[in-house]
Chains A and B, each alone.
Chain A
């Protein structure tokens, strides 16, 4: 079950962009970017910078042969600022020199004068000024307005959730190498090779076939390298193209944190109506998404916030409005969950507040409203094979939250300064790119004459184990030993028009394409077998564990000698296949459709201990029941859940982005932006996979795993709130994540 990729990792032999042997004469890039959040560039002077030894060239907007445009969904983002700067970190120029230090020194010598303009940092202020990335969207189900009068409880409130820096351990980077005939090869740490290829071609005014992008693996992505790996790759390509020498551009950590996008901060208003049994009758919510200075992926992320605004609950009347607000911060971007966590945090806050007013535990409301088979989401899709009730039920049987709450109550009775708290977090997450056309992938399989197999797909390996899953799928489908199979790098010359590896869909899309490609090869091989055996009923031929059977009888043929025979008979041992997810669509005018291939379900109970004197806390345990269909690789899937939980808890507790009043990020280094370490991670994690739930819509009956477990971390927020209320029952409840030790102490001592 182990992940074979990890063998190279532990040996220290896995190569990342900065480890690849650099070609002779490689030059190094260093970025000059805007030190102010909003303003006009009055004067840009490189003269002193050019005098620095080793400096070869300084590139800015004027040097771009094609379009100075890198925006994907909306064309609103320059590669280099032109005229106006829109955020601190807005790239203005790239210095290329013989060494990193020379480039670094030259950047310090660039002089740039600005005329400051009024910056906006608050999404609500942006909304008031109609500074929208795309027009606001509203999802409707039933009729909210008619139902308020039937509610026994109507609760209103505000919820804020902070941004989150990815802290992929490998910073952004790329190496661009000129190839003959004005072509360029880019080695990039990107989740979206085709986006890099397309954008480089656009900026360099080249046809796409003259740009090749190769991705070996990423040292972590989490969404941070879906759209935002592009600028650095394109800059390196621009410099390499113009100078005709290889150019490497690796962002130092602090620069990476300062200038690249993060998870979107949200500010939201909610109003929820319930009857006295705790049934939610109606829910109205308005999301203000802080999009930063350009669209990036914000519109798609905004959509997912709306898709998940009711989390795991059926609410008959919903009005959910979302606004993507333009501010003068670096464009926010994809991050595991893709807007889903922000949506779920608000509904869980609403339920928590309602429970508090009703004097009951939030889990009572949660259970009363869990989705049933056939229930409709606000976007029109109905649940199919809905397992949320099963997950919640299994959670109760297995971990007995009632007993946990009682044990905690007894602990809190006894202890004055230490308090415990627990909370349950159910999760329902839709699987598919909600931008329907992205739900396609292709695979290219070569079988060499010695029986070794090379598989290329559009999937990018970034630690999520997609290579290992693809290897397993190939082995199962071809009925051969996994050791024969190598998963090749992701390369735009082998696989064209790739969708990003994102939306938890890497294995689903590419796995199905691999199954189809294997199917083509098997069909061809069966014909060879039939000819060899002088038989003609292909349906009686079977390959099991590298041995060929006919009509249930073992034959002399093995995979290896069959391959040789096929080659001698001039049968192609290469197959390519394309897969697109069936039955999905979404209408961006009515906001109705069937955007998801299926949903992933799960529930977790989170327990924390709070030191009320110092305002510091620990996460004691996270206990999970998760539906991942039939797991393709348990080590990988458990790792995805454990890792996602740590990230989710980090987002909701200690990971804090703080800007000063000028829009400068204060927490711009690992010394100030703290991610969970080995001590801060939950002391105990228990994971139970829901049994006997094969997923008909996933390869080998599996389910996507990357994003859904992230949202279990949200439970830590409400567990902390419960611990605080045990210390101070009349506490002022504010839904403001992250729940840093600072906020905890200030709230406790208020």
Chain B
């Protein structure tokens, strides 16, 4: 039995755990405010909030219900638009609205209305999750919601109005959630969810079976093959605590395979070692995708254009596998044998990934260019990790995505760079070697010619960022010579 709280009531269902949550909501529960727009996490019309007990508190995150298996709702609180909307009152159209809903109406943040519930849910999620509110973060939290009518201007105004309303009305003595209830952002029943969840939290998902097909975040699997997954007996592992965590172990930074992208994005540990970490990870999917997608999923998915694998390759990471009895580790750059082919035996799972703490004299950068800046798959991405000693490059790890059948490590380029002084010529030569060791193909994300050129530009971008001033012994990179 899958047991969870759906809006204000406890539900139990014997449906297959791999059932798409969106279908369960719309067809079995007739909660049709949650819309199907694309079934690939690219429009946000199906956004719901997932409340999870962390410690003694319930944390809410926005999720694309089109990519979430029903079984992952077990022991949690699922909130749809119907669970946010106040009950209807009055006769002549005097329907009650939350301050967010009212702001969307006032500011013209809705036209056809199809995407609107998703936006309202995402915005409500932002208020539930953040105690210090600001316009830019609030807009960022809507990166996974597409609207084709308004051009977003009215939605942005609604965000402003909602924040203003909250800031004016809130009481410093109350918790965020208490304030939200008091100001009608969320209904009263939210206050009792914690106690209810505690009761069902510890009960195990009994219908869960062991299987060779594992589903973590499901953010790519459900895009590729939802029709078969919903009839499969796959094992859900996103709540497997053994696979979670971000920590330091033996001078290595270790990330559990089930850590979500949003978890690593907001990790203080990683932010400490990589000052621009948050900026890089913002380019990965959207908030609802990052809330579900996992590091391990990104690694085993083996997409040539994966963003996390790209970053990890440049950090010279190792993958740690286990078949339940034996464990082994392998450098990530040796893990990929061909298009979507891994050095992984049946029964083995990726448990974690680790890499060395970056040295103090190191530089790291991640670059990604896609047709649309956010929530898009890269045309080309690239990460670079460089260490210098006395003005010379002593270590170089550079990766390139979208230019080969596998997440690509530019070994020839890296070899060339070792021992070199930073000069414009070095950079130009490195880029030219990189362009020669890749094999891009023309597809929806760009022609081979473009991808080759783009990689060159991204390598330039790394070095321009690393050495805006003349490096010791070297010279300032001459931009004129780069074009």
| Contacts from A to B (Cβ < 8 Å) | 2-16, 18-19, 21, 101, 104-105, 166-171, 217-222, 252-253, 416-417, 462-465, 483-484, 613-616, 635-636, 638-639, 642-647, 654, 656, 658, 666-667, 669-672, 674-682, 685, 728, 740-742, 745-746, 748-749
Q: Which 7 residue pairs of A and B lie closest in terms of their CB atoms, listed nearest first? A: A12-B33, A463-B112, A9-B113, A219-B114, A646-B151, A463-B111, A12-B81
Does B454 lie at the interface of the complex (its beta carbon under 8 Å from any beta carbon of A)?
yes
Q: Which residues of A contact B120 (CB under 8 A)?
A: 10, 12
Cα distance A171–B114 when bound, in Å?
10
The answer to whether B457 and A679 have CB atoms under 8 Å apart is: no
Cα distance A671–B285 when bound, in Å?
10
The answer to whether A463 and B92 have CB atoms under 8 Å apart is: no
Known: A677-B146, A740-B371. A745 touches B457 (CB 8 A): yes
Q: Which residues of B contact A104 (CB under 8 A)?
A: 227
Does B93 lie at the interface of the complex (its beta carbon under 8 Å from any beta carbon of A)?
yes
The answer to whether A614 and B151 have CB atoms under 8 Å apart is: no
The answer to whether B111 and A416 have CB atoms under 8 Å apart is: no
* Distance (whole angstroms) from the CB of A173 to the closest CB of chain B: 10
The answer to whether A7 and B97 have CB atoms under 8 Å apart is: yes
Cα distance A672–B151 when bound, in Å?
20
The answer to whether A647 and B453 have CB atoms under 8 Å apart is: no
Cα distance A3–B108 when bound, in Å?
8
Cα distance A15–B26 when bound, in Å?
12
Which bucket holds chain B's interface residue count?
A: 35 or more
- Partner pick for A678 among B80, B145, B446, CB 8 A cutoff: B145
**14 cross-chain CB contacts under 8 A:** A3-B105, A6-B105, A11-B33, A12-B117, A18-B26, A18-B32, A166-B148, A169-B148, A217-B112, A220-B111, A644-B151, A741-B370, A741-B379, A746-B449
- Partner pick for A11 among B30, B38, B85, CB 8 A cutoff: B85
| A-B CB pair tally, cutoff 8 Å | 257
Cα distance A220–B150 when bound, in Å?
11
The answer to whether B479 and A639 have CB atoms under 8 Å apart is: no
- Partner pick for B151 among A169, A462, A642, CB 8 A cutoff: A642
Cα distance A685–B156 when bound, in Å?
11
Does B464 lie at the interface of the complex (its beta carbon under 8 Å from any beta carbon of A)?
yes
Q: Which residues of A contact B454 (CB under 8 A)?
A: 614-615, 745
- Give me 6 other A-B pairs in contact (C-beta within 8 A), A105-B227, A221-B112, A674-B376 excluded: A11-B33, A11-B85, A101-B230, A253-B37, A677-B145, A677-B152
Does B466 lie at the interface of the complex (its beta carbon under 8 Å from any beta carbon of A)?
no
The answer to whether B39 and A220 have CB atoms under 8 Å apart is: no
The answer to whether B373 and A16 have CB atoms under 8 Å apart is: no
Does B43 lie at the interface of the complex (its beta carbon under 8 Å from any beta carbon of A)?
yes
The answer to whether B93 and A7 have CB atoms under 8 Å apart is: yes
Residue in B closest to A166 when the chains form the complex, CB atoms = B148
Does B375 lie at the interface of the complex (its beta carbon under 8 Å from any beta carbon of A)?
yes
> B residues 106-158 with Cβ under 8 Å of A?
106-108, 110-117, 120, 139, 142-143, 145-156
The answer to whether A463 and B149 have CB atoms under 8 Å apart is: yes
Cα distance A542–B241 when bound, in Å?
75
Known: A19-B32, A670-B40. A11 touches B97 (CB 8 A): yes
Cα distance A15–B461 when bound, in Å?
49
* Distance (whole angstroms) from the CB of B230 to the closest CB of chain A: 7
Q: Which residues of B contact A483 (CB under 8 A)?
A: 92-93
Q: Which residues of A contact B93 (CB under 8 A)?
A: 4, 7, 483
The answer to whether B375 and A10 have CB atoms under 8 Å apart is: no
- Partner pick for B35 among A169, A645, A742, A748, CB 8 A cutoff: A169
Known: A10-B101, A749-B453, A749-B483. A674 touches B371 (CB 8 A): yes
The answer to whether B227 and A220 have CB atoms under 8 Å apart is: no
* Distance (whole angstroms) from the CB of A742 to the closest CB of chain B: 5
The answer to whether B105 and A672 have CB atoms under 8 Å apart is: no
The answer to whether A5 and B113 have CB atoms under 8 Å apart is: yes
Q: Which residues of B contact A681 (CB under 8 A)?
A: 151-153
Q: Which residues of A contact B95 (CB under 8 A)?
A: 7-8, 11
* Distance (whole angstroms) from the CB of B157 to the closest CB of chain A: 10
Q: Which residues of A contact B227 (CB under 8 A)?
A: 101, 104-105
Cα distance A644–B150 when bound, in Å?
8
Cα distance A746–B369 when bound, in Å?
14
Does B443 lie at the interface of the complex (its beta carbon under 8 Å from any beta carbon of A)?
yes
* Distance (whole angstroms) from the CB of A115 to the closest CB of chain B: 29
Q: Which residues of B contact A678 (CB under 8 A)?
A: 139, 142-143, 145, 147, 152, 155-156
* Distance (whole angstroms) from the CB of B144 to the closest CB of chain A: 8
* Distance (whole angstroms) from the CB of A693 to the closest CB of chain B: 22
Residue in B closest to A21 when the chains form the complex, CB atoms = B30
* Distance (whole angstroms) from the CB of B400 to the closest CB of chain A: 15
Cα distance A4–B460 when bound, in Å?
53
Cα distance A645–B105 when bound, in Å?
20
Cα distance A231–B32 when bound, in Å?
25
- Partner pick for B38 among A4, A669, A676, A749, CB 8 A cutoff: A669
The answer to whether B479 and A656 have CB atoms under 8 Å apart is: no
Q: Which residues of A contact B102 (CB under 8 A)?
A: 10
Known: A11-B95, A614-B457, A642-B151. A677 touches B372 (CB 8 A): yes
- Partner pick for A170 among B35, B88, B97, B375, CB 8 A cutoff: B35
The answer to whether A614 and B458 have CB atoms under 8 Å apart is: yes
Residue in A closest to B450 when the chains form the complex, CB atoms = A742
Residue from B36, B108, B112 with most neighbouring chain A CB atoms (10 Å): B112
- Partner pick for A12 among B37, B40, B85, B150, CB 8 A cutoff: B85
Residue in A closest to B119 when the chains form the complex, CB atoms = A10
Residue from B39, B80, B117, B444 with most neighbouring chain A CB atoms (10 Å): B444
Does B434 lie at the interface of the complex (its beta carbon under 8 Å from any beta carbon of A)?
no
* Distance (whole angstroms) from the CB of A690 to the closest CB of chain B: 20
Residue from B39, B92, B148, B367 with most neighbouring chain A CB atoms (10 Å): B148
Does B445 lie at the interface of the complex (its beta carbon under 8 Å from any beta carbon of A)?
yes
Does B67 lie at the interface of the complex (its beta carbon under 8 Å from any beta carbon of A)?
no
Q: Which residues of A contact B373 (CB under 8 A)?
A: 616, 679-680
Q: Which residues of B contact A740 (CB under 8 A)?
A: 371
Residue in A closest to B23 when the chains form the complex, CB atoms = A100
Known: A169-B146, A636-B108. A220 touches B114 (CB 8 A): yes
Q: Which residues of A contact B369 (CB under 8 A)?
A: 614-616, 741
Does B160 lie at the interface of the complex (its beta carbon under 8 Å from any beta carbon of A)?
no
* Distance (whole angstroms) from the CB of B118 to the closest CB of chain A: 9
- Partner pick for B148 among A5, A101, A220, A613, CB 8 A cutoff: A220
- Partner pick for A222 among B35, B36, B148, CB 8 A cutoff: B148
Cα distance A9–B45 when bound, in Å?
12
Residue in B closest to A641 when the chains form the complex, CB atoms = B151
Cα distance A639–B100 when bound, in Å?
18
